């Protein structure tokens, strides 16, 4: 996961994003919560991979468990 999620104060004010993009993790999670499939998200954001979506879910899960994440 750490190789896919990045936080950089110079990119979207440090918001967690998919590494190498400006796509926030929250955008992926919001799309999933709205009922969009992985295929829908990949069609909307062709620069993403299935592994990027999985990393976003894992990131959110770890945050909710209170784990510290170095991204």
For residue 7, report the phi and psi dihedrals to the nearest 5 degrees: -130, 125
Does residue 48 belong to any structural domain of this protein?
Answer: yes
Q: What CATH number did the domain enclosing 13 receive? A: 1.10.10.10
Query: Is residue 51 one of the residues assigned to a domain?
Result: yes
CA dist 18 and 7 (Å) reads 9
- Token code pair at residue 2: 């750490």
**Residues spanned by the domain of 24:** 5-64
pLDDT tens, position by position, 7-37: 999 999 989 999 999 999 999 999 999 999 9
pLDDT for the residue 34: 98
Sign of CA dihedral 20, 41, 54, 64: positive
How does residue 70 score in pLDDT terms, banded at 50, 70 and 90?
low
Q: What tokens appear for 70 in the block?
A: 């170095």
What does the pLDDT read at residue 71?
52
Question: What mean pLDDT do residues 39-65 have?
Answer: 96
Q: How many domains does the chain have?
A: 1
Backbone angles phi, psi at 6, to 5 degrees: -130, 145
């Amino acid at each position: 996961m750490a190789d896919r999620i990045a936080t950089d104060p110079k990119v979207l004010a440090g918001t967690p994003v998919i590494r190498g993009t400006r796509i926030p993790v929250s955008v992926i999670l919001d799309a999933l919560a709205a009922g969009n499939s992985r295929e829908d998200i990949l069609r909307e954001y062709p620069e993403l991979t299935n592994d990027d979506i999985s990393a976003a879910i894992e990131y959110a899960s770890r945050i909710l468990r209170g784990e510290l994440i170095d991204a």
